[in-house]
């Protein structure tokens, strides 16, 4: 299965980009009053499909890589941030009684998304923050 690593990683990276881009596009559409498009069934199903592909490819990569690759906790950190990202994205797209709350939730979701990207790129649980904090 290791011989398929490059292809699986490519699918995973493409799904990561598609997931974040679609959430940002949907969130901004909701913010400017285009809720109908952003929350339409085909767009929601596309989002579910992308996220399922993303998770499937991630699990395949976890199964392929040796356990030593995950010894410093970067993967666990990403996995713990994933439900945070999903919940913030969900809150960003739904109606809530507080003015501006959706914008705050969308910004927070995109910040968590960016942190997860940094963690994936650096294989460090703090992402790029370790160099900034002097911990590197």
Got the DSSP string for 8-58?
HHHHHHHHHHHHHHHHHHHHHHHHTT-HHHHT-HHHHHHHHHHHHHHHHHH
pLDDT in tens, 94-114: 887 787 899 999 999 999 999
Provide CB contacts within 8 A for 76, sequence distance 6+: 70, 125
Task: Give the model's pLDDT for residue 61.
Answer: 86
pLDDT in tens, 5-64: 999 999 999 999 999 999 999 999 999 988 899 999 999 999 999 999 999 998 898 888
Task: Give the model's pLDDT for residue 90.
Answer: 93
Task: Give the model's pLDDT for residue 69.
Answer: 63
pLDDT band of 135, cuts 50, 70, 90: low
Q: Is the pLDDT of residue 136 over 50?
A: no
Task: Give the model's pLDDT for residue 74.
Answer: 85
Task: Give the model's pLDDT for residue 34.
Answer: 87
pLDDT in tens, 57-96: 988 988 887 776 666 788 888 888 999 999 999 999 988 7
């Amino acid at each position: 299965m290791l011989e398929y690593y490059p292809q699986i990683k490519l699918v995973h990276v493409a799904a990561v980009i598609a997931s974040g881009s679609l959430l940002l596009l949907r969130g901004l559409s909701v913010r400017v009053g285009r809720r109908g498009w952003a929350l339409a069934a085909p767009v929601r199903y596309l989002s579910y499909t992308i996220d399922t592909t993303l998770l499937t490819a991630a699990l395949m990569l976890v199964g392929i890589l040796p356990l030593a690759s995950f010894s410093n906790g970067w993967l666990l950190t990403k996995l713990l941030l994933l439900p945070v990202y999903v919940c913030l994205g969900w809150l960003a797209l739904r109606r809530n009684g507080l003015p501006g709350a959706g914008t705050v939730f969308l910004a927070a979701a995109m910040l968590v998304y960016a942190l997860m990207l940094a963690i994936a790129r650096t294989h460090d649980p703090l992402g790029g923050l370790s160099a900034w904090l002097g911990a590197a």
